[in-house]
Chains A and B, each alone.
Chain A
Amino acid sequence: MAVDKNMNILIVDDYKTMLRILRNLLRQLNFVNIEEATDGSMALQKLRQGNIDFVISDWNMEPMTGIQLLREVRADDKLKHLPFIMITAESKSENVIAAKQAGVSNYIVKPFNAETLKSKMVSVLGDF
């Protein structure tokens, strides 16, 4: 099934410049409906309002981190099936294992390039 380019994507990062980078790279991939949040709790609030189809989140944020957000999402019956990609500078294998155990769909380490972002999205959402 083709990926719907009109899907609603939530990007979460405490660095505004990173949000802008992600937004621009996603736009270049023709994804236009992008919501932003600057930490896990704000993201969770937006997710619970509905309509989000896909989450791309940083890990290291306050007060709610990306891994806490992921656990909240996976524990919520309405949200638990959402595809969730972690994009983070945390590159230790313990982090990757913890994210996998928490139910992450894929994991991108910063700094990343557009090709990596696209390939990980394809692996989660299917080809586009």
Chain B
Amino acid sequence: MSTDNHVDQEIKKELALLRQTHGDVVKVSEISAVVASIMATMKGDLTASDLELYNELEALASYIRDAKMDIAALRPDEVRDQYIPTAADELDAIVQATEIATNSIMDATEEIEAVMATLDGDQAEKLMNATTNIYEACGFQDITGQRITKVVKALKDIEDKIEGLVTAFGSEIEKIKASSPVPDAKPENAEITDADLLDGPQLEGDATSQAEIDALLASFD
């Protein structure tokens, strides 16, 4: 049996085994194992073409190892667990805030309309036009709400894809985490920098109320 035939049969055997075990979806780590096992079968005298194939396979194995490390180093689990949920919460908060603001604007506009009813002629007409313009402009809440809903759906799609990455690279991610852990939080006695103080508006529930701020300020007196 020639080396070429032997390699072909080994590849077919490994592929059949993988299909039997995992179907058509195979983890990158297992592909790497297949390449490694094929390389291990290449013993004895090698022809020039065998050697070329060997080098190609070795380069492929190395490429896969590097890619695994690069993807794992991106910490897709953190993107899934922290960044995407936070982004979705912030977007939901935007929709809620614009809805509340729009209703406040319309409350005020309806009060203006009530006053308008007591006026005559030109003044009433001017107020009518102004309030109509306000109602028209309030339509922004509906449009921005729909756009934000589309973004949230896109985030959900990204989350699903990242979930696939986390599943495929789970063990690699854990290895990277173990070798270079990210500090969870600043030590309690660490100095707070100006950058630490820039976090933007807080989400409902996380925010400090004015009453709590007043109490905090009063505690300095």
Contacts and interface: CB of A to CB of B under 8 A. Distances in A.
Could you say which interface size class chain A belongs to?
Answer: 10 to 19
A25 B113 CA distance: 12
Contacts of B145: 15
A60 to B, nearest CB: 7
A60 B143 contact: no
Contacts of A111: 136, 139-140, 142-143
B103 interface: yes
Could you say which interface size class chain B belongs to?
Answer: 20 to 34
Contact of B139 (A16, A18, A28, A60): A18
B149 to A, nearest CB: 9
Contacts of B109: 24
Nearest to B139: A111
A113 B142 contact: no
Given A110-B142, A111-B143, A17 B102 contact: yes
Pairs of residues from A and B, 8 with the lowest C-beta to C-beta distance, nearest first: A18-B142, A111-B139, A15-B142, A17-B102, A113-B136, A17-B141, A114-B132, A24-B135
Given A21-B138, A111-B143, 12 more contacts: A17-B106, A18-B139, A24-B106, A24-B135, A25-B132, A28-B128, A89-B143, A111-B136, A111-B140, A111-B142, A112-B139, A114-B135
Interface of A: 13, 15-18, 20-21, 24-25, 28, 60, 89, 110-114
